[in-house]
């Protein structure tokens, strides 16, 4: 029998939860689906703990679901007794810098580790051309390879657990499971004519207008807002100084419930159970696509406005094959949510208008969401990564032979 492949994943939490969210999923998938021995190095256990509360923020080394979690503090590589031997596969997430000592060990060891830089997700066209490109180290005999997640077949694909779509389908077809889910969350079961929305976004000045639209709608809207930076806006919409997890607020036909941050797997279920999901960043954006439900993305805003191109590149792909008028109304809603409120208001239809037009195409939007998740599901990041690793491994073996 082949010996399991060892893997180190390095993650620095820049801000929020996306970096560790992605790394944790990757670590679990490599361990559970491919029998690999994975160590996940993360510099911020407190953020990790929010997604996965059984993580102990004070423990330098712990095992969680078969993954070894190591607190990556600047001092840990200086402690000689740790004696860290680099793994066969080394993944630095989002261009975080590997510890010098570790890189030196990679050079010194007999076998050659395969070094991957797992990049951020983007739907831009250039991604396919840069995926898998080598980047030789400027001074050391090491090569790192860029690995780009993406939506097109020539990219690295998306993280998707082998059984996720089947679990989603089972959940969505079992009313009892859904009822148990709502009960556990302390949220009443959906009313027959209600629209249930999950809301996870950055601060967004389009939010009050959307709330206002929902409050005036002719059916009940329950908006489940996740705890986070947007709560001050929620408070001011309802004329409160402060709101917190557990609060319920009402305005016309809009009910807002503030949810605590829930465990990552439960958050997937929340998206499976809602009619529409507002998501943000990278990881919740991908999970909303696997939910197979209509969603609206609040892209991570970048200072140089690079996010605007990223947003339109995604929309172009997402709307391919959709009737032009539907593509247009979806674009209006998404642009209004991301750009319209921070740029020239007059250029964009109001969120109210855009929302109404999207609702008019609700059934087509639902069908498209389902088809979209089906279409993407054939391009698994982990399978692509492991195929690439095999290819590099063969090249390394040939190089070794020619050295002899």
In terms of CB distance, is 46 or 360 closer to ligand TRH?
46
By C-alpha distance, which of 352, 185, 355 is closest to 272? 185
Give phi and psi for 202, each to the nearest 5: -85, 175
Give CA separation, 140 vs 109, 186, 391, in Å.
13, 56, 22
Query: How many residues touch ligand TRH (CB under 6 A)?
Result: 21
Q: List binders of ligand TRH among 208-267 (CB under 6 A).
A: 226, 261-262, 264, 267
148 binds ligand TRH (CB under 6 A): no
CB of 20 to ligand TRH, least distance (A): 8
Cβ atoms of residues 175 and 273 within 8 Å: no
CB of 69 to ligand TRH, least distance (A): 16
In terms of CB distance, is 25 or 70 closer to ligand TRH?
25
51 binds ligand TRH (CB under 6 A): yes
Catalytic residues, which ones? Answer: 19, 282
Bridge partners for 184 per DSSP: none
Bridge partners for 387 per DSSP: none
Stretch that binds ligand TRH, among 8-16, 133-141, 309-317, 346-354 (CB under 6 A): 8-16
Bridge partners for 90 per DSSP: 8, 115
Q: List binders of ligand TRH among 302-331 (CB under 6 A).
A: none
| Of positions 150, 156, 157, 281, contacts ligand TRH by CB under 6 A | 281
In terms of CB distance, is 213 or 264 closer to ligand TRH?
264
119 binds ligand TRH (CB under 6 A): no
Cβ atoms of residues 112 and 393 within 8 Å: no
In terms of CB distance, is 86 or 149 closer to ligand TRH?
149
In terms of CB distance, is 18 or 336 closer to ligand TRH?
18
Cβ atoms of residues 376 and 151 within 8 Å: yes
In terms of CB distance, is 168 or 280 closer to ligand TRH?
280
Give phi and psi for 116, each to the nearest 5: -120, 135
Q: List binders of ligand TRH among 80-99 (CB under 6 A).
A: none
CB of 101 to ligand TRH, least distance (A): 26
| Of positions 12, 16, 117, 341, contacts ligand TRH by CB under 6 A | 16
By C-alpha distance, which of 223, 215, 379, 200 is closest to 285? 200
In 167-317, beta strands by DSSP E: 195-199, 221-226, 248-251, 254-259, 276-280, 295-298
The C-alpha atoms of residue 133 and residue 138 are separated, in whole angstroms, by 15
DSSP summary character for residue 158: B
Nearby residues of 57 by Cβ (< 8 Å), 6 or more positions away: 45, 46, 48, 49
Which residues contact ligand TRH by CB under 6 A? Answer: 14-19, 21, 51, 200, 226, 261-262, 264, 267, 280-285, 300
């Amino acid at each position: 029998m082949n010996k399991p492949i060892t893997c180190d994943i390095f993650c620095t939490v820049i801000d929020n939860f996306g970096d560790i969210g992605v790394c944790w999923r990757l670590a679990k998938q490599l361990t559970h689906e491919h029998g690999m021995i994975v160590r996940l190095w993360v510099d911020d256990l407190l953020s990790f703990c929010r997604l996965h509360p059984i993580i102990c923020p004070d423990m330098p080394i712990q095992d969680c679901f078969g993954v070894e979690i190591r607190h990556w503090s600047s001092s840990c590589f200086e402690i000689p007794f740790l004696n860290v031997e680099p793994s066969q596969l080394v993944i630095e997430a989002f261009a975080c810098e590997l510890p010098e000592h570790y890189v030196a060990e990679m050079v010194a060891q007999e076998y050659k580790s395969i070094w991957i830089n797992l990049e951020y997700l983007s739907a831009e066209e250039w991604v396919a051309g840069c995926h898998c490109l080598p980047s030789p180290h400027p001074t050391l005999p090491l090569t790192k390879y860029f690995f780009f997640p993406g939506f097109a077949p020539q990219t690295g694909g998306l993280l998707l657990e082998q059984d996720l779509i089947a679990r989603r389908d089972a959940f969505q077809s079992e009313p009892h499971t859904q009822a148990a889910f709502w009960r556990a969350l302390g949220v009443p079961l959906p009313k027959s004519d209600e629209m249930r929305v999950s809301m996870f976004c950055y601060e967004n000045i389009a939010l009050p207008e959307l709330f206002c639209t929902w409050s005036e709608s002719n059916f009940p809207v329950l908006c489940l807002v996740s705890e986070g930076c947007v709560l001050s806006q929620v408070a001011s919409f309802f004329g409160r100084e402060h709101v917190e997890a557990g609060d319920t607020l009402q305005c016309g036909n809009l009910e807002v419930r503030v949810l605590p941050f829930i465990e990552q797997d439960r958050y997937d279920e929340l998206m499976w159970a809602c009619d529409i999901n507002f998501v943000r960043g990278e990881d919740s954006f991908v999970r909303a696509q696997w939910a197979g439900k209509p969603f609206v993305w609040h892209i991570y805003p970048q200072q140089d406005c690079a996010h605007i191109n990223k947003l339109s590149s995604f929309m172009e792909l997402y709307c391919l094959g959709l009737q032009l008028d539907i593509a247009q109304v979806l674009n209006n809603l998404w642009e209004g949510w991301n750009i319209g409120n921070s740029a020239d208001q007059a250029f964009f239809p109001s969120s109210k208008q855009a929302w109404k037009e999207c609702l008019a195409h609700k059934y087509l939007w639902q069908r498209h969401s389902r088809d979209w998740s089906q279409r993407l599901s054939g391009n698994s990041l982990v399978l692509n990564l492991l195929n690439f690793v095999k290819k590099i491994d063969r090249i390394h073996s040939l190089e070794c032979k020619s050295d002899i």
